[in-house]
């Protein structure tokens, strides 16, 4: 029996990551293709130190998440980091007025630590279901650049390219705000006509459609093209169970909701209110590995699938341990943005358009914990802030 470890210190690092050929609009915080541009973003990392020399590390989560950390991080010092369920429940209680910000990143780092302690990858601690997982290509938001995602035909061309690369699914993120719903509908038809029946198609207007009526028009276009799902259509912000129940009564295409409601209970309430077909989950919003496994099992109990949002090692481990999930969301992909390895990984781990095999699949990392080696030299060199809790 190994000695029980104790948490001695928690560090939160903020650092800069630069990306080429992308520009972020300060008005809506949306990043789109612009050749020659360089965008500088802030990233965050958490390190949980113990008295036995093992650390739990995670790079992910926004500044907003880390802002609530001071409310409960003190309770971690001196604790056994393997008591994840107790720590999760305490954080949930303490953060009840603060949208449970920050507890997800702590939980993921604790799972990384547990994996290193038991010398096993997270998916194995959870119980492995698979090690190879299919992806859908999830596009950048549209742009108006030459060679970019600048027209319905350009999206259709790119969908065809993704199909040829092996992707079994393709999700459209339209231009951030279309001038008219008709353009949105034309985009769905262009992609549907080109690759419909050959790959699963999805669309995510990201809550930009102005009215319930606009949402209906887009949903009916999805019906005509046999889309696999449509997601977060209109400006309720994706949180009205009543409105989405009504949409489900009027549109045949399955709806995917719940990216914008946090945690197990609100997800289950929304399912029971008939507000969704697929259940969205995100380990950075919904309580980390612990929260997502609760959610996946709750969805399984309803006979529904949980679909995880965006990319990264922790999503791979979760998908490897979840039966009721269809796709890994390879995002954000674009015909002209050259995929490159993220500088935060020392071991070559990468996501991106070409990070799939010929069948459109990715593998789960097999090292202990998250199974990736973060480049702390890079993170330290590009640091814009460090907070130490001890
Ligand atoms: Mg979405």
CA 26 to ligand 1 center in whole angstroms: 20
CA 327 to ligand 1 center in whole angstroms: 13
> Cis ω on the peptide bond leading into residue 112 (within 30° of 0)?
no
Percentage of the chain exceeding pLDDT 90? 95
**Domains of the chain listed by start with CATH number:** 7-119+375-389 (3.30.390.10), 125-363 (3.20.20.120)
Please, are residues 55 and 48 in contact by the beta-carbon 8 Å criterion? yes
CA 376 to ligand 1 center in whole angstroms: 31
Identify the bridge partners of residue 170 per DSSP, sorted by sequence position.
137, 201
CA 80 to ligand 1 center in whole angstroms: 36
pLDDT digits (tens, 9 = 90+) for 122-166: 999 999 999 999 999 999 999 999 999 999 999 999 999 999 999
pLDDT digits (tens, 9 = 90+) for 23-57: 999 888 899 999 999 999 999 999 999 999 999 99
**Which residues sit with Cβ closer than 5 angstroms to ligand 1, an ion?**
204, 259
Note the pTM of the prediction, 2 decimals: 0.98
What 8-state DSSP symbol labels residue 69?
G
Q: Give 52's contacts (C-beta < 8 A, 6+ positions apart).
A: 3, 5
CA 207 to ligand 1 center in whole angstroms: 9
pLDDT digits (tens, 9 = 90+) for 349-358: 999 999 999 9
CA 232 to ligand 1 center in whole angstroms: 6
CA 310 to ligand 1 center in whole angstroms: 9
Q: How many CB atoms lie within 10 A of CB 184?
A: 24
Q: How many CB atoms lie within 10 A of CB 296?
A: 24
Q: What is the reported pLDDT for 167?
A: 98
Q: How many CB atoms lie within 10 A of CB 266?
A: 15
CA 58 to ligand 1 center in whole angstroms: 23
CA 233 to ligand 1 center in whole angstroms: 9
CA 50 to ligand 1 center in whole angstroms: 36
DSSP-derived pairing of the beta strands 278-281 and 7-25: unpaired
Q: How many CB atoms lie within 10 A of CB 250?
A: 12
Please, are residues 280 and 258 in contact by the beta-carbon 8 Å criterion? yes
CA 4 to ligand 1 center in whole angstroms: 40
Say how far apart CA 345 and CA 356 lie, in whole Å: 17
> Among all chains, which residue has been given the structure tokens 């050259």?
338
Tokens of 353: 């358009």
């Amino acid at each position: 029996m190994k000695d029980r470890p104790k948490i001695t210190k928690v560090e939160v690092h903020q650092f800069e990551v630069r990306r080429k050929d992308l520009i972020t609009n300060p008005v809506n915080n949306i990043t789109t293709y612009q050749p020659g541009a360089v965008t500088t973003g802030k990233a965050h990392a958490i390190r949980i130190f113990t008295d036995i020399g093992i650390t739990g590390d995670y790079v992910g989560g926004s500044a907003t998440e880390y802002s609530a950390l001071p409310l409960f991080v003190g309770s971690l010092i001196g604790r056994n980091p393997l008591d994840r369920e107790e720590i999760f429940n305490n954080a949930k209680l303490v953060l009840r007025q603060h949208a449970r910000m920050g507890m997800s990143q702590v939980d993921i780092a604790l799972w990384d630590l547990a994996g290193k302690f038991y010398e096993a990858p997270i998916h194995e601690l959870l119980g492995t279901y698979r090690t190879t997982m299919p992806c859908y290509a999830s596009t950048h938001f549209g742009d108006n650049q030459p060679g970019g995602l600048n027209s319905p035909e350009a999206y259709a061309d790119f969908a065809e390219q993704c199909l040829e690369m092996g992707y079994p699914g393709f999700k459209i993120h339209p231009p951030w705000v279309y001038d008219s719903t008709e353009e949105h509908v034309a985009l769905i038809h262009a992609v549907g006509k080109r690759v419909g029946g050959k790959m699963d198609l999805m669309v995510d207007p990201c809550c930009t459609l102005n009215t319930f009526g606009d949402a209906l028009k887009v949903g009916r276009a999805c019906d005509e093209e046999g889309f696999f799902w449509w997601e977060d259509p209109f400006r309720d912000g994706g949180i009205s169970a009543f409105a989405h129940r009504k949409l489900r009564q009027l549109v045949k295409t399955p709806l995917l909701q719940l990216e914008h409601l946090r945690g197990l209970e609100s997800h289950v309430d929304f399912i029971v209110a008939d507000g969704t077909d697929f259940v969205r989950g995100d380990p950075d919003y919904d309580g980390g590995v612990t929260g997502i496994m609760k959610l996946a099992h709750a969805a399984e109990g309803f006979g529904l699938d949980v679909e995880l949002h965006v990319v990264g090692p922790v999503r791979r481990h979760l998908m490897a341990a979840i039966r009721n999930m269809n796709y890994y969301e390879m995002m954000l992909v674009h015909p002209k943005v050259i995929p490159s390895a993220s500088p935060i990984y020392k071991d070559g781990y990468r996501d991106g358009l070409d990070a799939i095999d010929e069948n459109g699949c990715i593998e789960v990392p097999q090292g202990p914990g998250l199974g990736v080696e973060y480049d702390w030299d890079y993170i330290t060199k590009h640091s814009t802030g460090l907070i130490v809790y001890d």
